[in-house]
Amino acid sequence: MTALDQIKNNLRAFVKSYYTAQLLRGFILFLALGSLFLFLVLGFEYFLWLGSKVRLGFLISILLVEFYLLYRFIIVPLIYLFQLKNGLTDKQAANSIGKHFPEIDDRLSNLLDLEANEEQSELLVASIHQRAEELKPFNFSKAIDFSKSFSYAKWIAIPLFIFSVIYFFGDIRSFFQSYQRVINYDLAYAKPSPFNFVLLNDDLLALQNESTLISVETIGDLQPEAISINLAGEEYLMKNNNGVFQYEIKSPKESFTFYFSANGFTSNSYNFEVIKTPTILDFILELSYPKYTHKKKETLSGVGSATVLEGTKVSWKVATADTDRLLFKGVDTIQDFMSSAAGMFSLSKAVYNSLKYSISTSNKNVSDFENLEYSFEVIKDEFPKISVIERKDSLIHNKAYYSGNLSDDYGVSSLKLYYYNILSPDSIMSLELLKPNSPVSSFYYTFPSGINIVSENSYAYYFQVSDNDQVNGSKHSKSQTFTATILGDNQLKNKELESQQTIISSLDRTVEKLKNQTKAMEELSGSQKEKSSLSFNDKSKLNSLLQKQELQENQMQKFSKQLKDNLNKANRDDGLNKLLQERLERQELQAKKNKELIESLKKVADKINKEDLSKRLDDLAKNQKSGQRNLEQLLELTKRYYVTEAASQLSKDLDELSRKEMALAKSKLNDIPSKADQEKINELFRSASKKLEELKKDNNNLKKPISLGIEKSDMDSLNKDLNKISEQLDKEANGHKSSSSSAKQKSAAEKIKELSEALSESSSTSGANVTEDAEVLRQILDNLVIFTFKQEAMIDDLSDKENAFANTSKVILKQQELKTLFEHVDDSLFALSLRVPEISETINKEVTELYYNLDNVVKKLSESRIYQSVSYQKYVLNSGNTLSDLLANILDNMQESMKSGKGDGSGEDFQLPDIIKGQSDLNKKMGQAGQGKESTKGDSGSSGKNGQEGQEGQHGSQGKNGTSGKQGKGGKDGESGSNGSNGKNSNGGTSGSGEGGSKGNGEGNGQSDGKGNGKGGAMGNGNTGLSEDALKEIYQIYKEQELLKNKLEQQLSNMINKEDRSLGQKLIRQMNDFQNSLLENGVTRSTIDKATIIQYELIKLEGAAMKQGEKKERESNTNSNSFTNPVLTQPAIFENYKNQNEILNRQALPLRQNYQNRIKEYFNTND
């Protein structure tokens, strides 16, 4: 045997040792892991006593796991050991040996590589032999360490430990019996019970729906901690009570079986028997109410008690189960229910008084098993209820408004008003207001409509409601008693003057706030121009300022409306009153426009760029300044009007006092003198003196006070005379009146009369002389023309560019002088406007525009922006010319007035035919306005120089001083001129009615050339938006409709028939709708149609009035306190008053009587 063969034999011995070691290690692991898995499975079965399917699973898992371990650790090494399958190669074995023997390293591997070489040379064979000889001494089997395989024997200790624990501390036999249960998985095994269940109940018997307590205990070595009872397949845990387990079965219906279970052990099954009892399944009450209550038949289910009306027929229908007899038991009666069908019982009785009763059930098993107690509460007819709320308007005297709620059990039959003079409490009169015939109702009433009363008397009155009780007779309830004093004409006038004074004071404070707002707006506008962008603080300041301004405009609207309403109540046709009302209406509209402008600015303030914001702020500042000027002028005019009205009223009071004093003087000389009457007159005179002092104070607050014609010394002297008369009458108290007393009284009466006439004359001639005013206006116009000429000269000077830049400081100085000149003109103009009301908003707007452009001229000059300053100077010149035009027109009108004089109105009230005619004229006027609106262009007049001396307009006589369109700054619309007198056309318009120019092409942009078309701007036409004249025309139509509506409301008080009043109220609503549409949309086809419908309805109303015999011819204008029919419509003061509770209370809710009563109580307690 060669050395190489020995080496190979040695390698085979190494491989055999390698697999022998693996087999030894596999055997140990097979024993350890197989035993451990077996113990685990048996442990589960030992403790849990699992079912057949689980045990089958365990058996399969044991077989699979043990077979896998056997194959992996024993069969696989044996296959390699017996070379049934190739294992380690010589090369792999050589590598393993080289790793174990460092002396060999890779020498053995190299030897095998040389031996495997096919090219065998002598040198190679010699080398192989030499290497084999060198490796021959090594025993390769020693590379296998069998001690490592034996080291795995420690894993056998785990199952041995488990076996030892079970053996010494458990039941080893029982444990390994679980192996038999796994092997015999298909057999059922019962776990031995360590205890027995003992039922403690004597019998298992109970009545139906009667709760039963089941008790059980256990006997044995072990005691369970908890026991469950199984009922109908459901388990319920029993309560442990000192070792006795209990469970309560509530209301059993049917017999049942049960058993106990604890810790996996179960008891035997038990049967429990339930005895049937008589039971009521359904309970129905049918309530048939008396016919006069108008209540429908009512059915109640499931209840035996009810609240019913007296005489109600009650029918019981009872559905039962297992019941043989049903009894009705009253206080002194027992009655059987009738059995109508299987399990159905019925009974009927009439109930007149409150009743308590019971119903009992019986069957063959039990008697009187259930005894159900019920009761009926019988409701008697109650008194009707009334609640009344009073509201009064501080601006409307001699009227009170009432809203009330009425209620009764079955129905309210009537509502009446009872009233009497407080001086004659026994003379009670009544007025029937309503016959609602319903359980719940509400009403409105305006006192003193529908009743006859006398002025300057006090009345007490109350409302009385009656019900429809047919059993006990009608019952009545009344409200609280109200009182009212009916003021006379003079008292009413004094109240109105007090209201005016209050409103004027509020308006005065508003004007001061408006000045501050205007100043703040100008500062903000100026500061933001100096910045490239607005900071957060600037935006916050702007928003705050806009909010304050919006609040201010709201206040202005409110005060303007209040003052206008107050002036409207004065019922005077003098020009100043009408003019003030017009000015207030325009002020109201302007405040509304300003509010809209502010709202739009608030929305876009954060979005638009700086230039747009600056322009909008400038526009707002100009509007504010113009509005401030208008408001100051309007306030002063209103104060003047108040002073003249107060003087006029004081004159009437003194005249009345004079007549009373004269009546005393004319009393017979032999009459006993009445000092009390004289003292009353003295007191009234002292009161008049105080009023005069207040009047003088208000008059002195005017910028140009009125001459009242009465001095304080006159009043003091007359007061002394009256006191002397009283002293003399006191001396004559026991005798007869002397001629001396009568003479003094007559003299005092004449003096009072003189004071009255003096005051009356001063109030009627309070305005300045027309001639004087015309002269002042002429001087103002002359100064204004001088101003415009100088301004024009400055424009020419600035056109010389070299001179302009060289003499900027001199130009600024001259411009400041011109501004000072215009300020003098403005001061005079404002003073004159207080006497000439025609100087109104249009002129104020031009003045504001002129001031704005003057300020910009100086500003641009100071910045050396000559071209821009020239542009603003042209605007100044244009405004000056326009203002001259307007003032010239006013001067012409004043001159015409001095020639022709003023005509007075008739002062008569409109009747229904007048209203119809007025509506017809208004419709024609709207038709003409609509046609004019549809035209694309109006006819313009011939051109005039600088807007002066406009020539004849189409279809109109020659206009005086026609006004050119105003130069539009940056494309602004040109303005038409002011209105001429009748037949005059101020701006070459389309008609000769004095409203001309509104339809002309006066809306062009750029410099006007006197023809209505603008230079350098696009020509405006009649359908591209509403011009100022068009707005004026719409406003005039609105005013005329408002007048017709007011007259119609006055006529409604004379209409007796309810249908007529209803038609009239419908007309009022239609007129309100028409006015709203007119303001929102202007003159459109829709508004014209609405006006036509109003005219048609007026004709229908006239026909109805004629049928009722209420048509009247012309009547004198009298102050009547007699109201033909009561006013029962809802007053505006109650429009937002009715709350949700009252709305619910008015509905016929489908509720039972007791719930209806609770709801009424709730409403009463929450009113």
CA dihedral of 703, 706, 710, 716, whole degrees rounded to 10:
-20
- Which tens digits make up the pLDDT trace of 573-619? 555 666 666 667 666 666 676 777 677 766 666 666 666 666 777 77
| pLDDT in the model for residue 583 | 65
Contact 999, 987 (CB under 8 A): no
For the cut 80, the answer to whether the pLDDT of residue 162 exceeds it is yes
Contact 228, 262 (CB under 8 A): yes
Of residues 1014 and 447, the one with the higher pLDDT is 447
Residues in the chain: 1167
- What amino acid occupies position 586? R
| pLDDT in the model for residue 827 | 78
For the cut 60, the answer to whether the pLDDT of residue 1143 exceeds it is no
Looking at residues 480-484, what average pLDDT do you find? 92
**What span, in angstroms and rounded, lies between the C-alpha atoms of 410 and 1148?**
12
Contact 1004, 1027 (CB under 8 A): no
**Judgement on whether residues 746 and 690 belong to the same structural domain of the protein:** yes
Peptide bond into 439 cis (omega under 30): no
For the cut 80, the answer to whether the pLDDT of residue 519 exceeds it is no
The least confident of 141-150, 303-312, 508-517, 928-937 is 928-937
């001629």: which residue's tokens?
739
For the cut 70, the answer to whether the pLDDT of residue 977 exceeds it is no
**What span, in angstroms and rounded, lies between the C-alpha atoms of 37 and 158?**
11
Closest CA to 6 of 95, 129, 88: 129
DSSP state of 1009: -
Q: For residue 536, is it within any domain?
A: yes
The least confident of 67-76, 160-169, 186-195, 948-957 is 948-957
Q: Which of 958, 990, 1022 is the last residue of a domain?
A: 1022
| pLDDT in the model for residue 946 | 36
pLDDT band of residue 1019 (cuts 50, 70, 90) is: very low
Of residues 780 and 712, the one with the higher pLDDT is 780
Q: Which of 1022, 1055, 1080 is the last residue of a domain?
A: 1022
Burial of 806: CB neighbours in 10 Å, binned 0-12, 13-18, 19+: exposed
């016919």: which residue's tokens?
291
Burial of 193: CB neighbours in 10 Å, binned 0-12, 13-18, 19+: middle
Looking at residues 330-337, what average pLDDT do you find? 88
pLDDT band of residue 533 (cuts 50, 70, 90) is: low
Which helix or strand (DSSP H or E) is residue 911 part of?
Answer: none
Looking at residues 1046-1054, what average pLDDT do you find? 70
| pLDDT in the model for residue 1112 | 41
DSSP state of 973: P
**What span, in angstroms and rounded, lies between the C-alpha atoms of 617 and 629?**
18
- What amino acid occupies position 1101? L
Closest CA to 388 of 442, 458, 466: 442
**Judgement on whether residues 1145 and 1127 belong to the same structural domain of the protein:** no
Quote the radius of gyration of the chain (alpha carbons, Å): 58
**Judgement on whether residues 750 and 737 belong to the same structural domain of the protein:** yes
Of residues 258 and 714, the one with the higher pLDDT is 258
**Judgement on whether residues 654 and 731 belong to the same structural domain of the protein:** yes
**Judgement on whether residues 946 and 854 belong to the same structural domain of the protein:** no
Closest CA to 122 of 130, 134, 113: 130
* 3-class DSSP assignment, residue 273: strand
Closest CA to 655 of 455, 454, 493: 493
| pLDDT in the model for residue 328 | 92
**Judgement on whether residues 56 and 179 belong to the same structural domain of the protein:** yes
**Percentage above 90 pLDDT, the chain:** 12
Of residues 641 and 213, the one with the higher pLDDT is 213
List helix spans (H) across 71-205: 76-81, 90-100, 107-115, 122-135, 146-150, 157-169, 172-183
Looking at residues 476-491, what average pLDDT do you find? 86
The least confident of 374-388, 904-918, 1052-1066 is 904-918
| pLDDT in the model for residue 975 | 36
- Which tens digits make up the pLDDT trace of 653-711? 888 888 888 887 777 544 555 677 788 888 888 888 888 888 888 888 777 787 777 77
**What span, in angstroms and rounded, lies between the C-alpha atoms of 1002 and 968?**
11
- The 3-class SS string of 132-163 reads HHHHCCCCHHHHCCHHHHHHHHHHHHHHHHHH
Q: For residue 188, is it within any domain?
A: no
**Judgement on whether residues 953 and 921 belong to the same structural domain of the protein:** no
* 3-class DSSP assignment, residue 317: strand
| pLDDT in the model for residue 483 | 92
**What span, in angstroms and rounded, lies between the C-alpha atoms of 595 and 615?**
17
- The 3-class SS string of 481-543 reads CEEEEECCHHHHHHHHHHHHHHHHHHHHHHHHHHHHHHHHHHHHHHHHHCCCCCCHHHHHHHH
pLDDT band of residue 936 (cuts 50, 70, 90) is: very low
Looking at residues 359-372, what average pLDDT do you find? 88
What's the pTM? 0.40
**What span, in angstroms and rounded, lies between the C-alpha atoms of 562 and 588?**
10
Q: For residue 897, is it within any domain?
A: no
Contact 926, 1091 (CB under 8 A): yes
If one counts the domains in the chain, the total is 8
Looking at residues 546-566, what average pLDDT do you find? 70
Contact 840, 636 (CB under 8 A): no
Looking at residues 807-819, what average pLDDT do you find? 78
Q: For residue 11, is it within any domain?
A: yes
**What span, in angstroms and rounded, lies between the C-alpha atoms of 248 and 927?**
94
Of residues 1031 and 970, the one with the higher pLDDT is 1031
**Judgement on whether residues 19 and 72 belong to the same structural domain of the protein:** yes
Looking at residues 801-812, what average pLDDT do you find? 65
For the cut 50, the answer to whether the pLDDT of residue 76 exceeds it is yes
Contact 349, 304 (CB under 8 A): no
Q: For residue 807, is it within any domain?
A: yes
Q: For residue 1148, is it within any domain?
A: yes
Q: What are phi and psi of 282, to 5 degrees?
A: -145, 145
For the cut 90, the answer to whether the pLDDT of residue 247 exceeds it is yes
| pLDDT in the model for residue 386 | 93
Helices (H) and strands (E) in the chain, counts: 27, 29
Encoded tokens for 445: 């009433």
Strands 279-288 and 306-309 come out as unpaired
Of residues 598 and 1157, the one with the higher pLDDT is 598
- What amino acid occupies position 1045? K
| pLDDT in the model for residue 319 | 92
Contact 587, 560 (CB under 8 A): yes
Encoded tokens for 1025: 């938006």
pLDDT band of residue 1005 (cuts 50, 70, 90) is: very low
Contact 69, 195 (CB under 8 A): no
- Which tens digits make up the pLDDT trace of 384-408? 999 999 988 766 778 889 999 999 8
Q: For residue 60, is it within any domain?
A: yes
Of residues 998 and 688, the one with the higher pLDDT is 688
Strands 205-207 and 270-275 come out as parallel
Question: How far is residue 580 CA from its own chain's centroid?
Answer: 36
Contact 1065, 1053 (CB under 8 A): no
The least confident of 160-174, 483-497, 596-610, 1084-1098 is 596-610
Contact 909, 996 (CB under 8 A): no
**Judgement on whether residues 269 and 286 belong to the same structural domain of the protein:** no
**Judgement on whether residues 7 and 50 belong to the same structural domain of the protein:** yes
**Judgement on whether residues 589 and 499 belong to the same structural domain of the protein:** yes
Of residues 556 and 262, the one with the higher pLDDT is 262
Of residues 436 and 928, the one with the higher pLDDT is 436
Looking at residues 26-38, what average pLDDT do you find? 89
CA angle, corner 474, sides to 470 and 476, nearest 5?
155
Q: What are phi and psi of 722, to 5 degrees?
A: -65, -35
For the cut 80, the answer to whether the pLDDT of residue 435 exceeds it is yes
List helix spans (H) across 765-865: 770-799, 801-806, 808-833, 841-862
| pLDDT in the model for residue 1106 | 57
Q: Which of 225, 253, 275 is the last residue of a domain?
A: 275
Looking at residues 1132-1140, what average pLDDT do you find? 60
**What span, in angstroms and rounded, lies between the C-alpha atoms of 589 and 594?**
9
Looking at residues 47-68, what average pLDDT do you find? 87
| pLDDT in the model for residue 819 | 82
Q: For residue 51, is it within any domain?
A: yes
| pLDDT in the model for residue 947 | 36
Sheet holding 338-341, edge to edge: 298-301, 279-288, 312-321, 344-351, 338-341
3-state helix, strand, coil in the chain (%, to 5): 55, 15, 30
Contact 397, 486 (CB under 8 A): no
For the cut 60, the answer to whether the pLDDT of residue 973 exceeds it is no
For the cut 70, the answer to whether the pLDDT of residue 829 exceeds it is yes
Of residues 146 and 31, the one with the higher pLDDT is 31
Encoded tokens for 1072: 């309100």
The least confident of 98-112, 209-223, 699-713, 807-821 is 98-112
pLDDT band of residue 377 (cuts 50, 70, 90) is: very high
Closest CA to 825 of 777, 862, 868, 857: 777
Strands 279-288 and 312-321 come out as antiparallel
| Average pLDDT along the chain | 74
Contact 135, 108 (CB under 8 A): yes
């209620």: which residue's tokens?
407
Q: Where in the sequence is the domain holding 151, given as residue range(s)?
A: 3-183
């027992």: which residue's tokens?
334
The least confident of 361-375, 482-496, 501-515 is 501-515
DSSP state of 399: -
For the cut 90, the answer to whether the pLDDT of residue 267 exceeds it is no
For the cut 80, the answer to whether the pLDDT of residue 554 exceeds it is no
Closest CA to 637 of 477, 504, 814: 504
**Judgement on whether residues 495 and 618 belong to the same structural domain of the protein:** yes
| pLDDT in the model for residue 1023 | 37
**What span, in angstroms and rounded, lies between the C-alpha atoms of 530 and 760?**
58
The least confident of 483-492, 757-766, 1006-1015 is 1006-1015
- Which tens digits make up the pLDDT trace of 1078-1129? 877 778 877 887 887 787 777 777 666 655 544 443 333 333 344 445 667 7
